[in-house]
Amino acid sequence: MAHTLLMPKATAVWLVDNTALTFDQIAEFCKLHPLEVRAIADGDAAQGIKGMDPVITGQLTREEIARGEADPNYRLKLSEPKVRVPETRRKGPRYTPLSKRQDRPNAILWLVRNHPELKDAQISRLVGTTKSTIEQIRNRTHWNSANLVPMDPVTLGLCSQIDLDMEVSRAARHAPPPPPSGDTLLPASETEKLPVDENAGGEEQEEKELDADAVFAKLSSLKSNRDEDGQE
């Protein structure tokens, strides 16, 4: 059964600091990119990670390191483990280094505030947390709610920008369309179906007829007054 190196970055840090192995040799042994190993040597990566001696853990021998230092083309071989641990697969949130676990609540708060469309399962995948913790932070019932500060999980190193963008776009595809805001004009197809007030025209016509009758009555009154004056 194949076995893998434990804590490859911590091992790479130790090999960079304590051996004369090339960056390519360390990168291949630790399954890292050579540029990442170079960044570790320059102090631009793996800051805060304590180096782990692979000799003490039984994953590499002094003789194997000496062979690699003597020949830059030599590829280090991982020692056979003395105790075999059966591989187990389990479903759950991704593993988060101990040094970054204290930042997870701040990252969850940032995601909840800036991307409310994300589901709990998506947040759990991004920062490696549980749904109960997410719910506590949403409801402000987390034990440390008063001291939480929203922080970008990408900046904290809990997830990559690609992973975050992918989850956000996935949530956007399943989000319901936003409700219309403000008053809008009805389309012509709807206004044509509106009922017409038939009494409106009748009232105007009736008003015109009343006005005409009033005018004729006034004229008749004036004429009668003139005839009376003439007779006198």
Q: Which pLDDT value is given to residue 62?
A: 92
Assess if residue 148 is contained within a domain: yes
Shared-domain flag, residues 165 and 111? yes
What is the rounded distance in angstroms from the CA atom of residue 91 to the CA atom of residue 77? 31
Assess if residue 125 is contained within a domain: yes
Assess if residue 194 is contained within a domain: no
Shared-domain flag, residues 66 and 103? no
What is the rounded distance in angstroms from the CA atom of residue 60 to the CA atom of residue 81? 10
Given 70, 89, 119, the domain boundary residue is: 70
Q: State the residue range of the domain holding 123.
A: 98-174
Shared-domain flag, residues 63 and 103? no
pLDDT tens-place string over residues 77-105: 988 765 454 444 444 455 555 555 678 89
Assess if residue 150 is contained within a domain: yes
pTM summary value:
0.39
Assess if residue 121 is contained within a domain: yes
pLDDT tens-place string over residues 31-89: 889 999 999 888 887 777 888 899 988 889 999 999 999 999 999 998 876 545 444 44
Q: What is the mean pLDDT of residues 141-163?
A: 87
Domain count, the chain: 2
Assess if residue 87 is contained within a domain: no
Shared-domain flag, residues 107 and 152? yes
Shared-domain flag, residues 20 and 64? yes
226 or 174: which carries more pLDDT confidence?
Answer: 174
